[in-house]
């Protein structure tokens, strides 16, 4: 086997390999190629147009000395961790509730999933109106007779991120719920019967039996939600424009503004490289645990 | 036979009764508010009389949104026929890279090169001795607009300068009126800050800081006064929770706010809201302190194209923009000043007259866009946006950070 294994290994599934070539090339040229190009040009002082005028790490020094960038990172950390936890918790709770063989399940599922069908721009605008003091909740409560009621999270620097978070959760929880529901449906009925027989309370079954069994679903959800968090941009644009002041700035907006508004490509490249580094730091340990572990075990 | 077909078609077309080569010319601009849309229609209609078709490429949102779209279309190899743009070093970089068309010859053959006033408008268009844009109108930013009835109704005199306005603010606040309405968008806050620099600090300060970039000067007492004024403005604009400049103008017109600092293009909005400049509306150039204005304004640029039909249509549009008749109707609709002195304004508003006087006295400062790079301006913008939003951000700290930016400006 091992003697004639080499040629057959190369030509095994030849047609499938040929079919994969375009995608492999796309991945190499578009993803890897452009990433490398971006990183390389982040060491230049390109402005409107890229030019190979090397300045070393100057762009990075400037980036980490810019308060707006630091605020952006901090905002993304706060928003990201809350979004991740809350959307998983909310999504799972909704799924567990819908899984109780309730009536109108299809109706509820559609209602919860519907926001996901809207773009972030529409979501952002809707929530901008809902939270706007002139037309939104504040106005409604005031018209009910509570004249001093104040609720303007989008114009309060300390609250603005939570205003965005509400919109993000409203948009994303439905999808998480559907994924979780699919996972719950994949749990064998016998598991439930067995725990019933043993007299284990339902909540304990969920936490100690069902959730560990749903690990693959959780991993998928985690990746989807995390990628959504990192590219957070359009929701901010539609809902707050980064304001009040710089209170809801995010890294993706920093990159766009640096590249196209300030016309400082290299600064934008440096910022996007830093975003890539951050993502890599999260993904490598995860990939190691997820794929590296299996080979050993 | 087949090779003859295009030829016969061309012959037919050139001798046809149809206007020769009715070409579609796409023109991008960001003039979308009520008065601005009226103004661009004047040019579009005048252009359409030539038989060519005006394809309107209006981009909603202000220059901050439109400029990146326009530059990326030009650099991305999909140029429009013509585009509105502001004179800036952003455009200079596009010209340097050879994306834009040189209109020097047209300026001479169409005979408007010497008619343009002030000639500094052409200087901003000129790069290495060649003209690359056609100025359409002059805009100045340094204006304080006040709703007279708001002051009179509250038993106050209408302020005639910034200090009087600041002094009147507490009374207005007590009566539930926002003293200063400003949109929250970054460019408006940057405009406000730079207007304060010219008007409170004076034109010398403005040019010494942005053109000469003297950090010691930026740290000096004159600049401190500007930051103190910015701090006062910050208190006065508390509660103007709106984004767009025309909504801010609406607040002033409704009497919910007393005043607004904005360029003269806002005059068109006030007039559309039924206010008469001079009677209901007071305009104070230079905030009533240093009466200097930036005579920058808008211009049209023409990307380099290869299609001869489009080039011919570009030629016609160039002539249309500077033609005296277009200038008259266009600037009237837009509330701007014309780019030539040889036309008689028909019943100009007192504000426009005042602007013309300041222009003809030569009390003009260069625009910040031509003195520093978009990058530096972006950093100044980030600083003032944060400063105007956060009352805990002290005046001293803001000035110290401003000095740092000026020290490394380019």
Does a structural domain hold residue A48?
no
From residue B351, give the alpha-carbon distance in Å to each of B142, B161, B223, B278, B358. 12, 15, 28, 7, 11
Domain that holds residue A31: 1-41
A263 CB neighbours in chain B (<8 A) are 71, 90, 93, 373-375
Closest to B389 (Cβ–Cβ): which among A66, A67, A247? Answer: A247
Same domain? For A2 and A91 the reply is: no
Q: Which residues contact B399 (CB under 8 A, 6 or more apart)?
A: B218, B219, B223, B224, B227
Same domain? For A138 and A166 the reply is: yes
Q: Do B184 and A246 make contact, defined as CB atoms within 8 angstroms?
A: no
Interior/surface letters B264-275, b for 16+ CB within 10 angstroms, e for the rest: bbbbbbbbbbeb
Q: Identify the CA nearest to B232 among candidates B209, B259, B266, B267.
A: B259
Is residue B248 a contact partner of residue B234, using CB atoms and an 8 Å limit? no
Average pLDDT over residues B395-404: 94
Half-sphere exposure of B290 (CA within 13 A, CB side): 21
**Closest residue in chain B to residue A68, using alpha carbons only:** B382
A131 CB neighbours in chain B (<8 A) are none
Q: Do A257 and B378 make contact, defined as CB atoms within 8 angstroms?
A: yes
- Digit-coded pLDDT (tens) for B126-144: 888 899 999 898 888 999 9
Q: Measure in Å the smallest separation between the Cα of A44 and chain B Cα atoms.
A: 15
As to burial, measured by CB atoms within 10 angstroms (0-12 exposed, 13-18 middle, 19+ buried), residue B285 is buried
In eight-state DSSP terms, residue B158 is: P
Does a structural domain hold residue A228?
yes
Residue keyed to tokens 């190009």: A37
Q: Helices marked H in A27-132 — which ranges?
A: 34-41, 58-64, 67-98, 105-113, 120-131
- In a mutational test of the A interface, the residue from B73, B99, B375 whose CB has the highest number of chain A CBs within 10 Å is B375
Within 10 Å of residue B298's Cβ, how many Cβ atoms?
A: 24
Does a structural domain hold residue A247?
yes
Q: Do A267 and B184 make contact, defined as CB atoms within 8 angstroms?
A: no
Q: Beta B133-137 vs B143-147: how paired, if at all? A: unpaired
The span from the CA of A275 to the CA of A229, in Å, is 12
- Digit-coded pLDDT (tens) for A130-160: 988 877 888 889 888 887 888 888 888 889 9
- In a mutational test of the B interface, the residue from A134, A263, A266, A267 whose CB has the highest number of chain B CBs within 10 Å is A263
As to burial, measured by CB atoms within 10 angstroms (0-12 exposed, 13-18 middle, 19+ buried), residue A5 is exposed
Q: Measure in Å the smallest separation between the Cα of B320 and chain A Cα atoms.
A: 31
Per-residue DSSP letters for B308-328? Answer: HHHHHHHHHHHHHHHSHHHHH
Average pLDDT over residues A36-48: 91
> Which value, to the nearest 10 degrees, does the dihedral of the CA atoms of residues A30, A32, A34, A36 take?
-170
Q: Beta B364-365 vs B293-294: how paired, if at all? A: parallel
Q: Would the pLDDT of B18 be above 50? A: no
Interface of B with A (CB under 8 A): 64, 67-68, 71-72, 75, 90, 93-94, 97, 184-186, 241, 243, 373-375, 377-379, 382, 385-390
Closest to A261 (Cβ–Cβ): which among B64, B386, B389? Answer: B64
The span from the CA of A46 to the CA of A37, in Å, is 13
Query: Domain B23-140+296-340 has what CATH class?
Result: alpha beta
Q: What are phi and psi of B301, to 5 degrees?
A: -115, 150
- Residue B205 belongs to what H/E stretch? helix B203-207
Q: Identify the CA nearest to B264 among candidates B29, B35, B42, B32.
A: B35
- Digit-coded pLDDT (tens) for B308-353: 999 999 999 999 999 988 998 888 888 788 888 777 777 778 888 8
**Closest residue in chain A to residue B70, using alpha carbons only:** A260
Same domain? For A239 and A146 the reply is: yes
Is residue A133 a contact partner of residue A141, using CB atoms and an 8 Å limit? no
Quickly state the pLDDT bin for B4 (edges 50, 70, 90): very low
The span from the CA of B126 to the CA of B95, in Å, is 10
Quickly state the pLDDT bin for A293 (edges 50, 70, 90): low
Q: Would the pLDDT of A1 be above 50? A: no
Instruction: Tell me the two tokens of residue B152.
Output: 């009179």
- What pLDDT was estimated at residue B72? 87
In eight-state DSSP terms, residue B283 is: E
Same domain? For A73 and A9 the reply is: no
Of A77-86, B37-46, B63-72, B379-388, the range with the lowest mean pLDDT is B63-72
Per-residue DSSP letters for B42-71? Answer: HHHHHHHTTT-EEEEEE-SS-HHHHHHHHH
Q: What CATH number should be reported for the domain holding residue A130?
A: 1.10.3720.10
Q: Which residues contact B43 (CB under 8 A, 6 or more apart)?
A: B136, B317, B320, B321, B326, B330
Does a structural domain hold residue A201?
yes
A155 CB neighbours in chain B (<8 A) are 241
Q: Would the pLDDT of A2 be above 50? A: no
Within 10 Å of residue A131's Cβ, how many Cβ atoms?
A: 24
Q: Helices marked H in B87-138 — which ranges?
A: 89-96, 104-109, 120-125
Does a structural domain hold residue A50?
no
Q: How far out from the chain centre does Cα B322 lie?
A: 17
- Digit-coded pLDDT (tens) for B145-194: 999 999 999 999 999 999 999 999 999 999 999 999 998 888 899 999 99
- What pLDDT was estimated at residue A6? 53
Is residue B151 a contact partner of residue B158, using CB atoms and an 8 Å limit? yes
A152 CB neighbours in chain B (<8 A) are 241
E-strand spans in B128-187? Answer: 130-131, 133-137, 143-147, 178-180
The neighbouring-strand residues paired with B282 are B146
Quickly state the pLDDT bin for B14 (edges 50, 70, 90): very low
Same domain? For A135 and A95 the reply is: yes
**Closest residue in chain B to residue A134, using alpha carbons only:** B241
- Digit-coded pLDDT (tens) for B34-73: 888 889 999 999 999 988 999 999 988 777 778 888 988 9
Same domain? For A24 and A71 the reply is: no
Quickly state the pLDDT bin for B22 (edges 50, 70, 90): confident
The span from the CA of B379 to the CA of B381, in Å, is 5
- What pLDDT was estimated at residue A7? 56
- What pLDDT was estimated at residue A250? 94
Q: Would the pLDDT of A295 be above 60? A: no
Q: Helices marked H in chain A — which ranges?
A: 5-11, 14-26, 34-41, 58-64, 67-98, 105-113, 120-131, 137-143, 160-185, 189-198, 202-204, 211-213, 215-230, 234-239, 251-256, 265-287, 293-296
The span from the CA of B157 to the CA of B164, in Å, is 9
E-strand spans in B111-239? Answer: 126-127, 130-131, 133-137, 143-147, 178-180
The span from the CA of B265 to the CA of B39, in Å, is 11
A244 CB neighbours in chain B (<8 A) are 184, 389
Percent of chain B residues topping a pLDDT of 70: 94
- What pLDDT was estimated at residue B17? 41
Q: Would the pLDDT of B219 be above 70? A: yes
Sheet holding B143-147, edge to edge: B178-180, B257-261, B143-147, B281-285
Is residue B333 a contact partner of residue B35, using CB atoms and an 8 Å limit? yes
The span from the CA of A114 to the CA of A59, in Å, is 43
Cis before B233 (ω within 30): no
Within 10 Å of residue A259's Cβ, how many Cβ atoms?
A: 21
A142 touches chain B (CB under 8 A): no
Average pLDDT over residues B265-286: 90
- Residue B247 belongs to what H/E stretch? helix B245-254
- What pLDDT was estimated at residue B21? 58
Does a structural domain hold residue A242?
yes
Same domain? For A64 and A16 the reply is: no
Q: Would the pLDDT of A109 be above 70? A: yes
Largest CA distance in chain B: 87
Q: Which residues contact B322 (CB under 8 A, 6 or more apart)?
A: B110, B112, B115, B116, B134, B135, B136, B339, B340
Q: How far out from the chain centre does Cα A240 lie?
A: 19
CATH fold for domain B143-294+364-407: D-Maltodextrin-Binding Protein; domain 2 (3.40.190)
Q: What length is written for chain B?
A: 410
Q: How many domains does chain A have?
A: 2
- What pLDDT was estimated at residue A85? 95
- Digit-coded pLDDT (tens) for A173-229: 999 999 999 999 988 889 889 998 999 998 899 989 899 999 888 988 988 898 889
What is the number of helices (H) and of strands (E) in chain B?
A: 20, 13
- Digit-coded pLDDT (tens) for B87-117: 776 788 889 889 999 999 999 988 888 888 7
B323 torsion bin: left (phi>0), alpha (psi -120 to 50), beta (else): beta
Residues of chain B with CATH 3.40.190.10: 23-140+296-340, 143-294+364-407
Does a structural domain hold residue A85?
yes
Q: Identify the CA nearest to A241 among candidates B187, B202, B11, B399.
A: B187
């Amino acid at each position: 086997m091992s003697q004639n294994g080499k040629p057959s290994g190369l030509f095994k599934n030849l047609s499938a390999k040929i079919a994969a070539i375009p995608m492999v090339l796309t991945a190499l040229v578009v993803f890897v190629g452009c990433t490398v190009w971006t990183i390389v040009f982040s060491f230049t002082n390109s402005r409107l147009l890229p030019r190979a005028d090397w300045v070393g790490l100057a762009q990075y020094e400037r980036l980490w000395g810019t308060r707006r960038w630091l605020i952006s990172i901090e905002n993304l950390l706060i928003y990201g961790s809350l979004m991740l936890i809350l959307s998983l918790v909310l999504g799972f709770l909704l799924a567990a509730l819908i899984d109780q063989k309730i009536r109108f399940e299809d109706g509820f599922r559609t209602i919860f999933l519907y926001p996901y069908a809207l773009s972030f721009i529409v979501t952002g605008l809707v929530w901008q109106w809902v939270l706007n003091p002139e037309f939104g909740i504040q106005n409604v409560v005031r018209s009910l007779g509570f004249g001093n009621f104040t609720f303007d999270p989008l114009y309060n620097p300390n609250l603005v991120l939570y205003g965005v978070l509400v919109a993000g959760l409203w948009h994303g929880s439905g999808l998480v719920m559907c994924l979780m529901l699919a996972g719950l449906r994949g749990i064998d009925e016998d598991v439930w019967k067995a725990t019933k027989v043993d007299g284990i309370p339902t909540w304990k079954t969920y936490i100690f039996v069902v959730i560990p069994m749903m690990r693959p679903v959780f991993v998928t959800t985690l990746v989807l939600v995390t990628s959504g968090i990192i590219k957070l941009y359009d929701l901010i644009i539609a809902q707050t424009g980064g304001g009040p002041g710089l209170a809801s700035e995010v890294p993706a907006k920093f990159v766009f503004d640096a590249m196209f508004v300030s016309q400082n490509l290299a600064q934008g490249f440096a910022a996007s490289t830093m975003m890539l580094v951050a993502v890599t730091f999260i993904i490598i340990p995860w990939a190691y645990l997820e794929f590296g572990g299996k080979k050993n075990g | 036979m087949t090779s003859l077909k295009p030829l016969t078609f061309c012959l037919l077309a050139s001798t046809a009764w149809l206007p020769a080569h009715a070409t579609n010319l796409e023109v991008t601009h960001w003039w979308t508010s009520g008065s601005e849309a009226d103004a661009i229609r004047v040019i579009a209609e005048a252009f359409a009389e030539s038989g060519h078709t005006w394809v309107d490429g209006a981009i909603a949102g202000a220059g901050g949104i439109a400029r990146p779209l326009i530059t990326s279309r030009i650099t991305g190899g999909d140029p429009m026929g013509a585009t509105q743009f502001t004179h800036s070093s952003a455009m200079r970089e596009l010209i340097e890279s050879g994306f834009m068309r040189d209109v020097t010859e047209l300026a001479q053959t169409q005979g408007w090169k010497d008619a343009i006033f002030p000639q500094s408008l052409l200087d901003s268009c000129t790069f290495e001795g060649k003209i690359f844009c056609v100025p359409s109108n002059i805009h100045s930013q340094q204006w304080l607009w006040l709703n007279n009835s708001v002051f009179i109704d509250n038993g106050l005199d209408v302020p005639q300068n910034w200090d009087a306005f600041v002094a009147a603010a507490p009374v207005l606040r007590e009566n539930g009126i926002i003293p200063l309405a400003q949109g929250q968008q970054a460019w408006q806050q940057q405009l406000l800050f730079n207007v304060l620099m010219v008007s409170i600090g004076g034109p010398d300060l403005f040019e010494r800081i942005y053109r000469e970039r003297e950090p010691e000067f930026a740290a000096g007492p004159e600049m401190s006064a500007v930051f103190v004024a910015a701090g006062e403005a910050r208190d006065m604009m508390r509660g103007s929770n709106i984004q767009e400049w025309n909504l801010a103008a609406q607040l002033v017109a409704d009497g919910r706010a007393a005043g607004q600092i904005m360029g003269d293009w806002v005059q068109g909005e006030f007039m559309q809201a039924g206010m008469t400049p001079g009677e209901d509306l007071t305009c104070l150039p230079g905030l009533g302190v240093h009466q200097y204005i930036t005579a920058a304004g808008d211009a049209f640029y023409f990307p380099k194209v290869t299609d001869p039909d489009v080039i011919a249509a570009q030629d016609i549009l160039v002539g249309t923009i500077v033609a005296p008749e277009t200038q008259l109707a266009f600037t009237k609709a837009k509330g701007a000043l014309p780019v030539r002195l040889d036309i008689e304004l028909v019943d100009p508003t007192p504000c426009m007259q005042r602007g013309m006087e300041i222009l003809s006295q030569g009390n003009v400062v260069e625009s910040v866009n031509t003195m520093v790079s978009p990058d530096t301006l972006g950093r100044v913008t980030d600083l003032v946006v944060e400063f105007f939003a956060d009352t805990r951000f002290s005046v001293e700290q803001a000035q110290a950070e401003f000095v740092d930016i000026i020290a490394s400006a380019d």
